[in-house]
Amino acid sequence: MQRTDLTLVVMAAGIGSRYGGLKQIDQIGPFGEIIIDYSVYDALKAGFTKMVFVISKAIEEDFHERVGRTIAKNCSTVAVFQRLEDVPAGFHVPAGRVKPWGTAHATLCSQNEVDSPFAVINADDFYGRTAFQTIADYLHRARDLDGVADYCMVGYRLDNTLTDHGHVARGICSVDEAGILLNIIERTRIQKYDQSARYTDDGQHWVTLPLETIVSMNIWGFTPSIFSALVERFPRFLMENRDNIAKAEYFLPNVVGNLILEKRAHVKVLITREKWHGVTYPQDRAEVKAAIQELIHQGMYPENLWAGTK
């Protein structure tokens, strides 16, 4: 079967507000590498050929300086902007809104640069080599059929995605025996609790989650058909959240979940044993650096990631 060109969409627009620009992102590799470097390196090894970075205008200069001297020399690299003012006709940005519209909107911003099956990831999460290889293998054979989209996601065990230093946001997945995603609900405050985990929606009432729960880390595989669904649902999201429009987010997992419930998408869950690493809190940085150093020691990565590349 002919191999399909694959694109990786990297959602990085939120980095500007969290770090003040790419130059300030935590360096976790021995030669100043950041998490984005390892994600792209793994994606290239898996067969992805084009990288589309969704960024904010505020980090444009830092982005081109940082990515231009490494990643852009090794593959086709494009930057697109996620802007608050990019809303459907008849809508406007509410006063006081500064936060990006969310992961579904970020993905939508890439549509003019994507014409093949593609994966979507967060810029500041470390997913692991096998996650990219698994999703690439699936995307090479992904085919929409009879109005039903053929998508996939990499699923992680919840206990492999938690930090000891606070709460995290994860998509809680319901998966059938065949590995098909039945539903996904975004929970924005999950944290460790004794020998389990728990989440809250209101800060007061907590619900226990088994550590083996399968969760989404926002590493999705799509065909381009997802863009029409994102366009269709954005006005609906704005209307439904008009009473909380200064803070509401257009989440990618919620869109996928609705498509599943409407029987408009079939989503295969590709379960991995990889352990997530990320710098959600300052205390996480030392642990991520140690994990990367161990992977270098195992031969997974060269010590100087981009040395000897183009």
Average pLDDT over residues 12-31: 79
- Percent of the chain predicted with pLDDT > 70: 96
In a domain, 134, yes or no: yes
* Cα–Cα distance, 165 to 257 (Å, whole number): 29
Q: How confident is the model at residue 217 (pLDDT cuts 50, 70, 90)?
A: very high
The predicted-structure confidence for 157-206, as pLDDT tens digits, reads as follows 999 999 888 899 999 999 999 999 999 988 989 999 888 899 999 888 99
Mean pLDDT for the chain? 92
Check pLDDT > 60 for residue 216: yes
Q: Total domain count for the chain? A: 1
In a domain, 21, yes or no: yes
Mean pLDDT, to the nearest integer, of 1-19?
79
Indicate which CATH number applies to the domain containing 247: 3.90.550.10
Residue 305 lies in a domain: no
Confidence of residue 265 (pLDDT cuts 50, 70, 90): very high
Rounded percentage of the chain residues whose pLDDT exceeds 90: 76
Is the per-residue pLDDT at 2 higher than 70? Answer: no
Report if residue 310 sits inside a domain.
no
With a cut of 80, say whether residue 18 has pLDDT above it.
no
Whether residue 20 lies inside any domain: the answer is yes
The pLDDT confidence band at residue 1, using thresholds 50, 70 and 90, is: very low
Q: Quickly state the pLDDT bin for 16 (edges 50, 70, 90).
A: low
Backbone φ and ψ for 113, nearest 5 degrees, come out as: -110, 5
Torsional class of 267: left (φ above 0), alpha (ψ -120 to 50), beta (otherwise): beta
In a domain, 280, yes or no: yes
- Asked, for residue 230, whether it belongs to a domain, the answer is yes
Q: What average pLDDT does this structure show over 29-58?
A: 95
Residue 186 has what pLDDT? 86
For residue 307, tell me if it sits in a domain: no
Position 25 scores a pLDDT of 80
Domain span at residue 84?
A: 7-297
pTM value is 0.93
Residue 172: closest CA among 200, 136, 144, 205: 200
